[in-house]
């Protein structure tokens, strides 16, 4: 008789809610609605859902790399994926 394995929650997703800021703003490049806006992304209350165009231009092609850069890492080349000097 086989033991039934309990289904485990794979990768607990963060429970952050999204808002207009998580969809449009960037923790590095600021709030899309202006600096005076109380931005949940800039305030680091919520993680942004997407990288912004400025990030992409700097070689930050996904949120993992953005996180790396936020932690002091280097951006990667958007074309070859190499870490930029």
Tell me how far, at minimum, the Cβ of 74 lies from Zn ion, in Å. Answer: 15
What residue has token string 């209350």?
45
Q: What are phi and psi of 79, to 5 degrees?
A: -95, -45
Pick 2 or 64: Cβ nearer Zn ion: 64
CB-CB contact of 58 with 27 (8 Å): no
Contacts of 58 (CB under 8 A, 6+ apart): 75
Pick 23 or 82: Cβ nearer Zn ion: 23
Tell me how far, at minimum, the Cβ of 5 lies from Zn ion, in Å. Answer: 42
Tell me how far, at minimum, the Cβ of 1 lies from Zn ion, in Å. Answer: 55
Pick 4 or 32: Cβ nearer Zn ion: 32
């Amino acid at each position: 008789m086989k033991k039934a394995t309990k289904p485990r929650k794979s990768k607990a997703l963060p429970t952050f809610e999204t808002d207009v800021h998580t969809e449009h703003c960037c923790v590095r490049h600021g709030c899309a609605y202006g600096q005076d806006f109380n931005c949940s992304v800039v305030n680091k209350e919520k993680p942004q859902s997407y990288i912004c165009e400025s990030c992409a231009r700097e070689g930050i092609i996904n949120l993992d790399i953005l996180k790396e850069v936020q932690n002091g890492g280097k951006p990667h080349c958007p074309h070859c994926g190499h870490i930029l000097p």
